[in-house]
Amino acid sequence: VANLKCTFIAIKLDGVQLGLVGEIIELFKQKGSRLVAMKFLWASGEHLKQYYIDLKDRPFFPGLVKYMNSGLVVAMVREGLNVETNPADSKRGTIHGDFCIQVGRNSIHGSDSVKSAEKEISLWFKPEELVDYKSCAHDWVYE
């Protein structure tokens, strides 16, 4: 399928602490995306500074890094049709629309483009951690 893409998804510490990990994974599964990699970790301050490097000059940067370094994160790579996300589309029925209360505590991050996904995946996963397989449901989900 030509439009299958990989995206990076992080269930942030508020989503982990609120017990939303299973629900969020299930929502992605229901949309037909395939799990390529997943890990549960406590990201270091240095890793987060690199991850959020584009925001380093923003006044909220130190607080963001400190917050994200204060708990566990579930990092995932998912593959599916048009899986990249547009944060502006946070309508009811979307993960942000259903689980986000405040912008700074929005439970989840999803790459907003293929280019962002490639960069983010490489920051969180080694190539050998990405599993290449074809789901038995693939032909039932995609033309």
What is the SS3 string spanning 68-134? Answer: HCCCCEEEEEEEEECCCCCCCCCCCCCHHHHHCCECCECCEEECCCHHHHHHHHHHHCCHHHCCCCC
φ, ψ of residue 43 in degrees (nearest 5)? -70, 135
Three-state DSSP class for 35? strand
Amino acid, single-letter form, for residue 138: H
109 is catalytic: yes
Annotated active-site residue in 47, 96, 109, 138 = 109
Closest by CA to 7, choosing from 93, 124, 135, 133, is 124
Q: Which of 141, 122, 127, 143 is nearest to 31 (CA)?
A: 141
Which residues are designated catalytic?
109
